[in-house]
Chain A
C-alpha cells in the first residue's frame, strides 16, 4: 500500500508540476527569482530613491538599471532586444541561470540572454552574437556566457523585445548616449492585488512624462500562460484523469487491504478489542502507511522531476515548481482519500464477529438453471463453474467490474487524447496551421517578394495575406483580423462547422471570437477598419490558437472591395510535404539576399512532448491500478476458494480444470469490465475533449476517437491480465496436498 500511495503522490506532484510548468510557469518562476510584480521603464535620470518612502506597499526596489534598445544581427536577420545593465546579481527579480554563468568583470563583454529569447534565436552559451545599436553606429561581437530565466517579462516572442543582461561597461560602449537609454525599475510589492493602485501612485509621484512603459505581473503571467492554449487544454484533460485515477487507486488498495485482513481482525475482536478500538487501529495503521507513502512520493517526485523535464523542451525546473498550496492540497487529498477509503471497510471490519465470519450467501438453488443446462450440455464444467463463481456474490462482482472498468474507461479516454494529440502534431492544418512559414516582404517590394516565393520549388502554395486591426461596437481594444488568401482562393482553413469563405464579406471565426462578440455561425457582424465599416457574414467556425484564439478570417479582397486600408501584408507558405520549415526559411532568406523577412510559424504541437510523456505515464498508472484491483479481488477470492478447490478436485476436476475455473472467475469479470469501460470511454473521450476545448476557447472539433488498433491491443492485454490474475496467486495451490489445505 505504501507503494501505491507513493506512486500516486509522486505522479500527482509530477503531473501538477508539469501542468504548472507548461501552462503557467509564472508562479514558480516568480517565487524562484524573488520577482518584482511591477516593472517600469522610465526616462533616464528619474529619481527613484524616494519611491519606497513615498509610496506605501513597496517591499523592495530592483534597479534602477540602465537599459537601451539594440538589435541582434544574425546573418540577414535582425532582432530587436533590450540590453539591461546589471552591475551585480539583482536581489529582487534575480534571473535564474539555466546554463553558463552570470556576468563577471573578468569577461566584460559577456552577456546573459533570457531563456525563451535565446531559444527563439537559436543561441546557446558559448556562441557569439553581434550587437548593433539603434543608430547602427556601433557594432560589437560578444560572447554569450549564460542563459537565464526571469519572471519579470513575458515569454519571447509573445512579449518583445528580447532581454539581454550586460555589464554597464558594455552598455556604454554600445550606446554611449545616455539620452537613448532608459531606466528600468522593478517594484516588489506586499500585496499583489494592489498593483494597479500602486502603479497609479508611482506614476503620480514620478510624473507621467517620466514613465515610458509599465508592465504588471498579470500581464506577464497571462503572457506566459497564453503561450499555448492547446497545451493547456491537453494537460487539463490529463489532470482530470490523473485525479480520478489517483482516487481510484487509493480507494482500491485501501479497502482491499482491509478486507483481506478480516481474519486478523476477527482475532483482534476475540482478544477483546472493542469495535471502536478496531477502527482506530485500522485507521491509524493506514494513516501511518499513507504517511510513509506520501513522504516516499514527495522524495520520488523531487528526484524524478528533473529527469522528466529533461525529456521535454521549454519547461524549466523553476517553472515547474508547485506553489506550496498545491502540494499541500495533493498531500491532503491523498491522505483524505486513504482515510475515506479506510472508513467504510474499517467500520465493516469492526463488525466482524469474533468467530470465523460466516458469509451470507444468497441461496441460488438448484445450480441456477443456466449453469445446470450448460453442464448438462457438456460444456466444459470448469468454464461453467468458474463463470458461475464469478457472479455468486453480486456485490463483490460489481466491485471488481467497476474496479477494472473505470481504469479501462480512462485508458480509452487517454488513448483518445493520444490520437487527438497525434492528429494535432501531424496535421497542423486541423488547427489552422497549414502554413508553416510566413514571409514579409521586408525591404523588397511586394511584387518582387511574390516572385521569389512563387519561384521557390519547395513552396507548394503561397497565400497572400493581410493582417488588419478592426474595431467593433462595445470593444475597447482592437481585434486582429486576417485576410487570408482571396475569396476565390481562400487559405485552406480546416472548418469544423459551416463552410469556408468563398465570396467577399464572408468570414470564418474561432469560437473564442464568436463568444467574445456574442455571435454564432450564420450571423452578421460589422467592423470598422480605419474608420471604414465592413459587414461580415460569418459562414463557418475554425480552430486556431493564434492571437489568443480569437481570429476572424476572410478573403483579403473583401477589404479592398470596401475600400478599407490594407496595411500589413505577408505571405503564408505551405511547403511541399517532407520539406522542413527551417530549411525553407534558410533557403528563402538566402535567395532574397537577406531582404525577405522569413519566419517559421511556431507549431504548438512542438511542445506537446510533455503531454505524450504525461499521457503515457498516466496510462501506465491506470493500467497498474486496474491490475492491482484485479489482484486484490483475486486474492480475496482465493482464500474462499482454496478449500473449494480441494473439494472440486475430489469431485473429479483435474488440476487443469481447476485452474481454468479459477481463471474464468476473473476473466469473465474482466471481460465485462473491459467492454463496459472501452465502449463508454470511446463515447466519452471525444465529448470530453470538445468540452474542455470549448472551455479554453478553442471550440469543439478537436476530438479524435482512439485508434482501433491500439484499442484492440489494450483490450486484449486487459483481458489477458485478468485471466492471469485469476491463477497467478494460486499457482501452487491447485496441486497442494488436500490434507494441508483442509486443516481445521
Chain B
C-alpha cells in the first residue's frame, strides 16, 4: 500500500542470506519479509538455526543480504557500503550482539560514553547519558571496571546501555537477556519498556517468551522464513471447564 511505506521505519522484503564456504551451502534466511513502524517494539522468536541472528545482522548492516531489499526510513540501505553503514549506525541504529559487545580495552563507562560521543553528543551530554543508562540498569558501581571483569549478564546489560547511548531510531538486539537471571531480565525489560514508552523502536531476537510477550508484535521465524507475524493481544477469556494457568485465588484480582 502506498502510504504505508512512509510510516515504516524499517521494511525488509524477501531477504535471503545463503552462506557458502568449504563446499557447504547453508541457506540461513530464505525470503523473509518484515516491517517495523516508528516506535514499534517487535520480537523475533524461533528455534536455533532458524536464521534469527542472521536476519538481525542484515538489518543492522553487519551482513550483506544475498538478495532482497531493506528500507530504513524510506531509504534503501541493503546495498550500502560498509562506510555508509557505519555512519548510519552511528546515529540511527544501536546494536547489541549475543556476545562480546564491549571494547575490551576501555572501561564500562568509556564504552557507553564513546557510543554517545560518536552519536554526536557533547562530553557533558555523553557523561549524563551514561550515568542515566547505567543507573537504570543497576550498574552504576561498575562504571570504572574493565569489561573482562564483568559477568556475562552484566556485560550484556552494559552493551544495551552502549547501544542506546546514542539514542538510535532503531534498536536491534540479539538475545539481550540470554545470560541473565530473572532479576536482571526484569531490569532489562524495564529499561526496554521505558525506552519504548519514550518512542524507541526496538527489534529484538529472543527465545525468552517473557521478553517476547512484552513486545507489540511477535515475529516467528522457522527454517529461514517468517512463519507467523502477529501482535501480542489480550488473552481470550477462559472457557468454562478449562483451567487457567493461575490458581483460583489470584484470578479474583485480575
Contacts and interface: CB of A to CB of B under 8 A. Distances in A.
Task: Tell whether A pairs with B.
Answer: yes
Interface of A: 358-361, 363-367, 372-373, 375-376, 381, 389, 392-393, 640, 643-644, 646-657, 735, 737-739, 742-744
A471 B162 CA distance: 90
A655 B105 contact: no
A651 B144 contact: no
Kindly name the residue among A358, A365, A647, A744 whose own CB sees the greatest number of chain B CB atoms within 10 A. Answer: A647
Given A656-B83, A737-B63, A651 B104 contact: no
A372 B90 contact: no
Given A364-B110, A389-B105, A646-B62, 5 more contacts: A359-B146, A373-B123, A647-B103, A655-B82, A739-B63
Interface string B80-109: 001100111111000101111111111101
B74 to A, nearest CB: 21
B118 interface: yes
Contacts of B60: 650
Interface of B: 53-54, 57, 60, 62-63, 82-83, 86-91, 95, 97-107, 109-110, 113-115, 117-119, 122-123, 127, 143-146, 148-149, 162, 166
A360 B123 CA distance: 27
B97 A742 contact: yes
Given A652-B86, A737-B63, A739-B57, A372 B107 contact: no
B90 to A, nearest CB: 3
Contacts of A647: 97, 100-103
A373 B122 CA distance: 10
Question: Which 5 interchain pairs have the tightest Cβ spacing?
Answer: A652-B90, A654-B83, A361-B146, A654-B86, A738-B62
A363 B143 CA distance: 10
Contacts of B90: 651-652
B34 to A, nearest CB: 19
B123 A738 contact: no
A654 B87 contact: yes
Contacts of A648: 103
A738 B86 contact: no
B136 to A, nearest CB: 19
Kindly name the residue among A360, A361, A651, A735 whose own CB sees the greatest number of chain B CB atoms within 10 A. Answer: A651
B4 to A, nearest CB: 29
A653 B86 contact: yes
B83 A367 contact: no
A731 to B, nearest CB: 14
B105 A361 contact: yes
10 contacts: A366-B144, A367-B117, A372-B123, A375-B114, A392-B106, A393-B105, A647-B97, A650-B62, A650-B97, A739-B62
Given A358-B148, A365-B144, A366-B113, A650 B107 contact: no
A389 B104 CA distance: 10
Contact of A640 (B89, B104, B109): B104
Nearest to A640: B104
Given A361-B146, A738-B57, A739-B54, A367 B113 contact: yes
Given A363-B144, A644-B104, A651 B57 contact: no
Nearest to A652: B90
A699 B88 CA distance: 70
A737 B62 CA distance: 6
A363 B53 contact: no
Given A654-B83, A655-B86, A363 B107 contact: yes
A389 B102 CA distance: 14
A115 to B, nearest CB: 64
A397 B86 CA distance: 29
B109 A366 contact: yes
Contact of A649 (B86, B115, B123): B86
B109 A650 contact: no
A698 to B, nearest CB: 53
A364 to B, nearest CB: 6
Contacts of A364: 106-107, 110
Contacts of B83: 654-656
B176 to A, nearest CB: 14
A650 B160 CA distance: 13
A744 B90 CA distance: 25
A192 B32 CA distance: 93
Given A363-B107, A389-B105, A739-B57, A652 B118 contact: yes
B98 A742 contact: yes
Contact of B82 (A360, A361, A643, A654): A654
Given A372-B123, A650-B95, A643 B104 contact: yes
A375 B88 CA distance: 19
Given A376-B122, A376-B123, A655-B83, A367 B104 contact: no
A358 B149 CA distance: 7
Kindly name the residue among A360, A363, A375, A648 whose own CB sees the greatest number of chain B CB atoms within 10 A. Answer: A363
B193 to A, nearest CB: 24
Contacts of B87: 652, 654
A744 B54 CA distance: 15
Contacts of B54: 739
A654 B89 CA distance: 10
